Each structure stands twice: as structure tokens, then as C-alpha cells.
């Protein structure tokens, strides 16, 4: 039992939870949240891949990749949420 195994398993579990949520959730906002969980799970696996047993320094390339991923994910989330707001407004207008 070392941190990389523990958090690697965590990453896989979080990814799986996000995947199930993205496919099965009824609500749009929850689906966005589920995809966000997937991205964090993937981040866990990359960060674990970069980890080396302490005094050794971790591999900086996967770290840079995860930071890039986080920024791309926030852009995608913002667009998805704008679409949700738009759809919701259109539906509310249809109901009136």
C-alpha cells in the first residue's frame, strides 16, 4: 500500500462514478457535474503517474498536462452552462 496505489484506485473510482453519472443522470446540470468528476478522475491518474517515491522529484510533464486539462475543462464547462441557461430560458418561454 503506497500513496500511488491508493490514489490511483481513487482516480479510477471517481472516473467510473463520473462516467455512470454522465450517462444516467436525468438532470443537465448533474451531467455537467458528472463530466467534471470524470476529468478530476483522469487528473488523479496522471498525477499518480508523475509521482515518484519521495525524495525523488515528480515528473513535471504530466503536471503541466493536468493544468492544461483543468483550464480546458473550465472553458468547456462555461460553454455547457451557457447552453443550459439558454435552453432553460427557451423552455420557460415555451411554457408561458
Partner 1 sequence: MNDPFLLFDLLLASAVIALAVATLSVRDLFASIVLFVIFGLLSALAWVRLSAPDVALAEAAIGTGVTGALLLKTLHHMRFVTGRLGQDAAESVTPAQPVPAPVIWANAALCGLITLGLAMAFFAAPQAGPGFEALVTDAMPESGVTHPVTAVLLNFRSYDTLMEVVVLLAAVIAVWQIERGLSEAPAPALGEIWHGFARLTLPAIVVVGTYLLWKGSEAPGGAFQSGAVLAAVGLLLLLSRNYVPRPAHRGLARWAFVLGTGVFAAIALLVAGGGREVFEYPAEHAYSLILLIEGLVTISIAVTLAALFHGREPVALAIEEKRHDT
Please state the closest distance from residue 44 (CB atom) to partner 1, in A: 7
User: How many residues interact with partner 1 (rule CB under 8 A)?
Assistant: 78
Residues 37-96 that bind partner 1 (CB under 8 A): 37, 39-40, 43-45, 47-54, 56-68, 70-79, 81-86, 88-89, 92
Q: Find all residues with CB under 8 Å of 8, minimum gap 6, and list them.
A: 44, 45, 48
Q: Should residue 35 be labelled a site residue for partner 1 when binding is judged by CB under 8 A?
A: no
Please state the closest distance from residue 21 (CB atom) to partner 1, in A: 4
Please state the closest distance from residue 45 (CB atom) to partner 1, in A: 6
Amino acid at each position: 500500500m503506497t500513496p500511488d496505489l491508493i490514489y490511483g484506485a481513487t482516480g479510477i473510482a471517481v472516473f467510473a462514478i463520473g462516467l455512470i453519472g454522465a450517462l444516467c443522470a436525468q438532470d443537465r446540470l448533474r451531467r455537467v457535474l458528472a463530466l467534471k468528476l470524470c476529468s478530476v478522475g483522469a487528473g488523479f491518474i496522471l498525477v499518480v503517474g508523475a509521482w515518484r517515491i519521495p525524495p525523488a522529484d515528480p515528473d513535471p510533464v504530466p503536471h503541466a498536462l493536468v493544468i492544461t486539462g483543468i483550464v480546458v475543462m473550465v472553458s468547456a464547462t462555461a460553454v455547457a452552462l451557457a447552453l443550459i441557461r439558454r435552453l432553460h430560458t427557451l423552455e420557460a418561454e415555451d411554457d408561458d
